A = this chain, B = another copy of it.
Amino acid sequence: MAAGVYACTAGSALADNILAAVSSPGHVLDVTVQLTGDGRLAYEVQRKGKPLIAPSRLGFILTNAPALDGGFSLAGQSVSEHDDTWEQPWGERRYVRNHYKELRVDVAQRSVNGRKLAVVFRVFDDGIGFRYEFPNQPQLGDVKIADELTEFVVAPPATAWWQPAGELLALEYPITKTPLREVGMANTPMTIRTEDGTHVAFHEAALVDYASMWLRKVEGQKLRAHLAPSSTGPAVERHGAFTTPWRTLQIADNAADLYMSDLILNLNEPNKLGNVSWVKPTKFVGVWWEMHLDQTTWASGKRHGATTANTKRYIDFAAKNGFGGVLVEGWNKGWDGNWVGYQSNFSYTQAYPDFDLKAVTAYAKSKGVRLIGHHETGGNIANYEKQMDAGYKLYASLGVDSIKSGYVTDAGTALFPEKNGKTHFGFTDSQEGSRHYLKAVTEAARYRIAIDTHEPIKDTGLRRTYPNWLSREGARGMEFNAWGNPINGVDHEVNLVFTRMLSGPMDYTPGILSLAGQKGKPLNSTQAKQLASFVVIYSPVVMAADLIENYEKYPGPFKFIKDVPADWADTRVLHGQMGEYATIARKDRRSDDWYVGSVTDGNARTLALPLSFLDAGRSYVAEIYRDGDTADYRNEHRFDIVIEKKTVTAADTLALKLAPGGGQAIRFSPASAAPTTAQ
């Protein structure tokens, strides 16, 4: 027999009992919080009057105290409205409106010493965030969470774009499309499209000192939070008052609107770092693709890539072409032998003899270029934390103000330090992982260093609070196209836009104009698509990843890479269809230029592009980089690109003709002064 039903025979109420309700400011979304049989807590979401999330459970199983999963009664509720606009120091847009209604529901478990818990919903017109608040209460001083019971029961039949969680490659699986019913355990953001076309992205915001939420399919279309496991006990251990991360549902009529949502950022705390003018969005080049092509090596020796001479070559190239930085991987001791996982033993202060760090940084400075630091850990976080401060200090002393960090190891095999000096293995998605990654960022901030984390914990919008957390990887990147095992699918960029990119910037390293990986194996892309990716896949630190000689070989398309900025005043998604195509327009933050990038999957298509985003009454020169008439990612015509100029106004509509696996990139520069009426 089972407990819940057994208890019913003792006479407890079965009828649903609505505790509280709230609607979004524009009455698009309605949320109700209810008690079901046994005083279990649940919530429900309707959109435009139709059920979207059926009653879904809330609560926790604890290891050190009775479960917070039933016997609740209402202790209080309140509704408030919030509306303001805040400014990003850098980002996809300068100003962000934060408009929501907040419902706070306080519940108590009378039979368990009156223990309290609150659930706070922030309901926007474009989505919902909710989190749990644990008050400071003597009945539950230590909170040891075995499992979060938060459910997401999707009412209408839906299709999902997702990748498995907790598996070998962590966040780097291809994104697959299946019926929602076929999801196993998914990373977030996971995006679904219901049969009536509503798009919902499940994710979380402000993941601080807590385990990552994986989404596990229970049965049918019922998903449940599954906290990334700890190696030492409960998934989460906290003391006193705390709040969980926000569980988020971005909800829109279509994929384009979904990407326009600022909900994740809005749910994060404002900037805690003060003046962050030292955080500089940058385009850069680097000693990187040549290693992935196996032309040079990270390891020392004859083929060592990170030599002083090679780096100077990149610095010269960067200076000549207006790139702000040069990344050098493999500069420091530790790359010889097996450097992946616990065996790694990197030094963050000692360079290989053929790499003169001081000379390189001085040379870069003389050329107006900055070295971008590199801290690979191989997932040996214990080793890294011992040296992190020294590593930051060294870089800061040489004027290096941004670091790409890396945690290459299989999921579950990162090495974490213990207080007693011992170590243990675990998931970077764990609570201790969340602590480490944020510590790396806040410690770096003390040195005015920005961080670009690879093999990161997922992005949950913490860049708002810590604007020196510039970017991360956290998805299958360009390097898979070098290795070819397998290379990224032709729909990869489109899939990224409406899943991974909803969480924040990604250091995707686009711009492989040579369209070839190891042994010349071709990419699933045309040249124009490589250019479009600079606009479509947002990152404030953007690497033009190809070899110098390839950029020199293709000066035409390379011009767009030189021109495109890495920081934006505004962003508009002009077309979006899950897994098929995306067109994004972004306005340069330092000029009146607009840039458009459009990418498609394996299908050719022609999209109408009304230019109404441009200033009315003003003429622009459009520099168009488009797929040529024969362009096709499946054959040698992938290099067929047409570069042309047109004069256009906001009243015009362009036809974006995209080849199979193709794309288009356009720069719009004002040809006339802005009309005074538009100022």
Contacts and interface: CB of A to CB of B under 8 A. Distances in A.
Contact of A219 (B146, B184, B233, B412): B184
Nearest to A340: B3
A480 interface: yes
A229 B232 contact: no
Contact of A172 (B2, B66, B168): B2
A185 B1 contact: no
Given A8-B483, A184-B219, A1 B172 contact: yes
Contacts of A182: 179, 181-182, 219-220
B184 A408 contact: no
A9 B146 contact: no
A455 interface: yes
A138 to B, nearest CB: 18
A409 B3 contact: yes
A69, A70, A166, A425 pick with most chain B CB within 10 angstroms: A425
A182, A341, A343, A409 pick with most chain B CB within 10 angstroms: A182
A61 B454 CA distance: 22
A473 interface: yes
Contacts of A498: none
A229 B231 contact: no
A136 interface: no
A63 B425 contact: yes
B184 A218 contact: yes
Given A454-B1, A483-B9, A485-B5, A66 B146 contact: no
Q: How many copies does the complex hold?
A: 2
A620 interface: no
A3 B455 CA distance: 10
A172 to B, nearest CB: 4
A120 to B, nearest CB: 25
A164 interface: yes
B178 A4 contact: no
Contacts of A101: none
B485 A8 contact: yes
Contacts of A66: 341-343, 413, 425
Contacts of A224: 167
A304 interface: no
A565 interface: no
B231 A67 contact: no
Interface in A505-550: 518
Interface in A49-101: 61-67, 69-70
Contact of A164 (B2, B219, B234, B518): B219
Contacts of A166: 147
A424 B4 contact: no
B455 A425 contact: no
Given A9-B294, A182-B182, A454-B1, A65 B229 contact: no
A426 B166 CA distance: 22
Nearest to A427: B146
A316 interface: no
Contacts of A219: 164, 176, 178, 182, 184
Contacts of A473: 1
Contacts of A454: 1
A67 B5 CA distance: 42
Contacts of A9: 291-292, 294, 482-483, 518
A111 interface: yes
Contact of A4 (B111, B169, B234, B338): B169
A218 to B, nearest CB: 5
B338 A111 contact: yes
A600 to B, nearest CB: 25
Contact of A479 (B1, B4, B343): B1
A67 B409 CA distance: 11
Nearest to A165: B218
A166 to B, nearest CB: 8
Contacts of A343: 66, 111
Given A9-B483, A184-B219, A234 B234 contact: no
A229 to B, nearest CB: 7
A412 B147 contact: yes
A665 B9 CA distance: 33
Contacts of A104: none
Contacts of A485: 5, 8, 14
Contacts of A483: 5-6, 8-9
A341 B70 CA distance: 12
24 contacts: A1-B406, A2-B168, A2-B169, A2-B455, A2-B476, A3-B341, A3-B379, A3-B410, A4-B169, A6-B479, A8-B483, A9-B518, A14-B485, A61-B425, A63-B426, A66-B342, A66-B343, A147-B412, A167-B224, A176-B219, A179-B182, A182-B220, A185-B216, A232-B233
Report, nearest first, the 7 A-B pairs whose CB atoms are least far apart: A63-B231, A184-B217, A61-B412, A2-B169, A2-B172, A181-B182, A1-B479
Given A178-B181, A216-B216, 13 more contacts: A2-B170, A2-B476, A3-B340, A4-B410, A9-B294, A67-B425, A147-B229, A167-B218, A179-B182, A184-B184, A184-B218, A184-B219, A185-B217
